[in-house]
Structure 1
């Protein structure tokens, strides 16, 4: 990762972790991805912008495998997604060969613009919903 991308990553992730995410998690209809912490074993809820298509939920991670929720998925792919105020269980899959930039065109516009602007290593995540 270039020095510019590393600085961008550090600034944006600190802002998200300490300001944006805590506020977003409180909003009743914010989409959330709940993973299990790979070290703590505790539930970790991350605001995400994605879209449900049938029995699948699609997300694009802006930092790929550097994203904490992606690292948690690698350790345990069982997740929950809160979409439109309802929780759904599922299994997450990291799709390294999917064209994440093209995928963003089918996801919510505002979030996709932010992911494109701040992201440095885009990675598509598909959650197969089981309920």
Structure 2
């Protein structure tokens, strides 16, 4: 694994860019759709997380450096595709949440990947409409 957090970030994001292009096309994969803060266009990011009641929880592996988190900071209105169905909602960044504990409550495989590759994780809660 790369030595510095900056190198790790660059290597992981380059890999994810290619992987996400494939994952976005899988009909059953969970997607988070934000509005691009510069372009204003929809941006779809494959994510791992879990719906709990009327909320969807996820942990961003790079915190505020993640592009979708930056988009949420500019406009918290999002959509989440769960099991092939789109849900609208409002995203909330939770910097005081214990990401280690949160990852234990989320899907194992994704949580393990976030723990291994992540630096500066950040919990995101999406309050789903209706």
TM-score, normalization by structure 2 = 0.97
Cross-structure match for 2:70: 71
Alignment partners' CA distance in 1, 2:119 and 2:88: 29
Alignment partners' CA distance in 2, 1:84 and 1:100: 24
Alignment partners' CA distance in 2, 1:101 and 1:86: 29
Q: Runs of 5+ in structure 2 lacking a partner?
A: none
The answer to whether residue 13 in structure 2 is matched with residue 10 in structure 1 is: no
Cross-structure match for 1:42: 41
Alignment partners' CA distance in 1, 2:120 and 2:26: 27
Please list the CA deviations of residues 28-51 of structure 1 after superposition, one character each: whole Å capped at 9, or x if unmatched. Answer: 100000000000000000000000
Q: 3-state SS of the aligned residue for 1:110?
A: helix
Spell out the pairing of 1:87-102 with structure 2 (5 A cutoff): 87-102=86-101
Q: Runs of 5+ in structure 1 lacking a partner?
A: none
Shift of 1:54: 0.3
Cross-structure match for 1:56: 55
The answer to whether residue 98 in structure 2 is matched with residue 85 in structure 1 is: no
Alignment partners' CA distance in 1, 2:57 and 2:89: 12
Q: Cα RMSD (Å) of the superposition?
A: 0.7
Q: 3-state SS of the aligned residue for 1:22?
A: helix
Alignment partners' CA distance in 1, 2:102 and 2:83: 21
